[in-house]
Chains A and B, each alone.
Chain A
Amino acid sequence: MIGAEPDSPEPRENAGPYLDSAHMARQSQNADDWVGCIRDVHDLFRKRLPPDCGGSVHVMPGTTLAVRRVLDCLRPHLRTGLATLLTTDDEYPGIVAALDEFWPGPMFVARTSDFVWHGRHAHLREFLEECVRITQPQVLYLSHVTRGAGFKYPDDLFALIRRVLPMAVIIVDGAQSFCNVDLRQVSLFKHIDVFVTSGHKFSGGTTYTGLVWVNEDFSSVIQDPAVGYTRSRGSGSTGDYQALSSLRIALVNLKDDVDGISFAEAVRDKMSETQRREHLVVGDTDYMSGIVTLWKLTDEQIRQLRTKLGNDFTLLFSEQWRDPTQGIRRERKAHCLHADKPGDADGWTLKYQEYAVEEERACAVADLRPKVVRLSYPPSEDCCAGLTYQEIATLIADCLV
């Protein structure tokens, strides 16, 4: 058993003997370990979060399912269909689909990926700041680290959002940051309400696990009727024991780096051979993308890159990397994202999607494309951490020798 027993009275245990059984009335072989496994995962997840972040943690069968659950729990609290949601086009398509499906009010999708992919990430904070002011959303859904490029939003962005919108509900998708970024060192938990992450990415567990942290305000809101592994609030749980057990093992095996960067040692052993691809540099020297994706690096190379490039960018697994010209950029009629080609937006574009409250999902899509505003940031010479592209290329070449 890992972690201390909770001081508070033990919540009602709902995990019965059939939880990982496909057949009714068939005794689970792992029933005895089930409750302990959940408790361990809770405790291990907690250890990866700032010690003073409070709130409560929950385990669910998948990140997307966890997000859907969070949204589902918010819906009864919406008095009208007028609450606005702001997200970005860097989110996982499944999440966008969930937001699209669950959110009854207007939804803005800020096109942040252009900034990252075109080397203008230094302006991303300012752009999101403006998006928040313009749309004045009641709910924000934002990645901590973007899945497309591994860009990590600065912590002070979340503080700024909170300054502008003290009442907004801020949900952070940490699928790419859990075990990639040392969450114990970040300040965002002071400013956000919900942190959702995955158990199978950098933590190295198998798929079908999602982890949720909610602050005190939400602890009583996020209930878990039969969709999670959570022990309390009437959960019947539908999770899979193997997945849960895998996550527990993965989290137990995570090591802490002395300098607080857990990735290098913790993830090294978890990268399978298939993920250790050949060296791959995305974007040739003529393309000022500012995004460099590398595989098969040694710990020392990773350390050097981290030291030189700073923390704006994190490292990516192959699964998380995707070509910006594909995937979410494709027109997704089902989601009405209707993403345009990059580069034609004079710096930025907000996408809007409207559902008529009375009518059934009558979608109207349009964009707000300010012509006079023209935030046309020129491709930056300092495309990454103050270094020119050429300097980065040299740096990488040096690292790879």
Chain B
Amino acid sequence: MTHEQGHVLLVGNFDLQNLDKGSFGLRAWNEVFAEYRKNLVNAGLQEEADLLPTFGPLWSMGDAQVRTTLRACLLPRSVTRYYPPKPIPLSDQVWQDPVSFRDCLLFFLRYMNTVAIVSASPAEYTEMLLTALGPIRIPVLITVATAVDIWPTSDRSFGAMRHALRLIPNNALQAQTIRAKVESIVSQWRQKDVGEVLLCHGDPTDTYTRDLKTEVLRLMRLSEDKVFSNAETLVKRLPTDKPAVILSVGYRDTLKSLIEQLPDRSGLTVLQSDGVSYDEYLEEIAPKPNSVFLLCRPAHDHSTYAKWAYSAVAAASAQAWRDSADRVGIERRLLAPIFRVREFLEKDKASVSFAGNENQSGGYYLSSVGPTHSEEPRVSA
């Protein structure tokens, strides 16, 4: 029995200029690559694992010369025993639109037996990936983008939702967590000290910010006069002698401008969405020791979701290898690959349970951030 070794394309934002800062893509890559090595060892391919190169700066597919070199590396490899699918990194940052990105994707798909694509990019790039794939039904596993409205809706989307699964809980679940916390805080306010709940958001054209803001507003029913895109205006609206909760929806720049304007006093609670990392948050809030700072985070780091995604794809590939040897029934052979991957995700990971395309398990949690707090461990798998 001879098979062609599979590949898993890890599409992410490999910021080549800032590799030291650890982009989503790079962190996911490190986890996936380690998992690949582990799978090789588990499959009795220790020598192969030892030979794996240490990847330096990741390939940018904008360079024609790199493509030519890559093509030689990606030549299909026929194997007579099971090999775990080989992960291949692909930066999506250099592509501006789905059409040009599709050209790049097809370059890979033509030469590699791509069994799955793991997306480790923010919402707009993941949306671009799904649009670029069009009718191609290679399973897409989303590990970073949380925007609910990520699925292409145009006629050319070809039912992208049917071949993609999102492992990271989406913004609707994040909004639920934020709402629950705000309600908990508000319920503790005394009658005479009823404060304000205000929302400060970043660039409204950004997919993540717009989506999360919409979800929060929908759930919490905040009126428009309590929603601000400008931190200075928001601070003017802050009650001076009453408690307040400020929801910060966006990235580090939004938080930074908010913290700069914010008075340092007790009774103020800032609840930041997951667009900021724990360390970035800690850095920004250092000058304000008297306020309470909360950070909303998914149950697991996105790189963990990427690892799980790869792990499930590898397990599904191994099962397909066994099934082909065992001559399984027709039903099994006609099963779309996305369902094979899903089976393993739900079977092996306690924090993964899908309703449609969305992982409904795990969700988000809130942690206090400050010099006196240590980073809380996340929920273990």
Contact = CB atoms under 8 A, between A and B. Distances in A.
Interface of A: 74, 77-80, 82-84, 105-106, 108, 130, 133-136, 138-139, 163-164, 166-169, 216-218, 221, 352, 354, 356-357, 364, 366, 368, 370-373
Nearest to A366: B156
Nearest to A132: B113
Contacts of A79: 331, 334-335, 339
Contact of A108 (B103, B135, B332): B135
B318 interface: no
Query: In which size bucket is the chain B interface?
Result: 35 or more
B162 A82 contact: yes
A368 B137 contact: no
Contact of A133 (B103, B110, B324, B329): B110
A166 B334 contact: no
A354 B334 contact: no
Contact of B137 (A84, A130, A372): A84
A354 B155 CA distance: 10
Contact of A134 (B110, B332, B333): B110
B114 A136 contact: yes
20 contacts: A74-B334, A78-B331, A79-B331, A80-B335, A82-B162, A83-B335, A84-B137, A84-B336, A133-B112, A136-B136, A138-B334, A163-B4, A167-B323, A218-B330, A366-B156, A370-B106, A371-B99, A372-B100, A372-B107, A373-B103
Contacts of A134: 106, 109-110, 136
A352 B159 CA distance: 12
B103 A77 contact: no
A77 B334 contact: yes
Given A133-B110, A163-B3, A364-B156, A82 B333 contact: no
A82 B160 CA distance: 11
**Which of B106, B155, B331 has most chain A Cβ within 10 Å?**
B106
Contacts of A77: 329-331, 334
The 3 A-B residue pairs with the shortest CB-CB distance, nearest first, are A372-B103, A166-B324, A82-B336
Contacts of A221: 330
Interface string B153-177: 0011011001100000000000000
B84 to A, nearest CB: 15
Nearest to B320: A167
Given A164-B113, A356-B159, A364-B155, A371 B103 contact: yes
B2 to A, nearest CB: 5
Contacts of A357: 159, 162
Given A84-B137, A352-B135, A373 B106 contact: yes
Contacts of A78: 331, 334
Contact of A136 (B76, B102, B337): B337
Interface in B49-103: 76, 78, 99-100, 102-103
A74 B330 CA distance: 8
Contacts of A371: 99, 103
Interface in B143-196: 155-156, 158-159, 162-163
B354 interface: no
Interface in B302-335: 320-321, 323-324, 327-335
Given A80-B339, A352-B158, A373 B107 contact: yes
Contacts of A139: 334
Given A136-B114, A373-B107, A106 B334 contact: no
Contacts of B331: 77-79
A82 B164 CA distance: 12
Nearest to B157: A364
B114 A133 contact: yes
B162 A169 contact: no
A364 B158 contact: yes
B138 interface: yes
Contacts of B114: 133, 136
Given A79-B334, A163-B78, A368 B163 contact: no
**Which of A82, A105, A169, A366 has most chain B Cβ within 10 Å?**
A82
A366 B133 CA distance: 12
A166 B159 CA distance: 26
Given A79-B331, A133-B110, A354-B159, 15 more contacts: A82-B162, A106-B137, A133-B109, A134-B109, A134-B136, A136-B138, A163-B4, A164-B113, A166-B324, A167-B320, A217-B327, A356-B159, A366-B156, A373-B103, A373-B106
A368 B337 contact: no
**Which of B134, B135, B321 has most chain A Cβ within 10 Å?**
B135
A194 to B, nearest CB: 11
Contacts of B104: 372
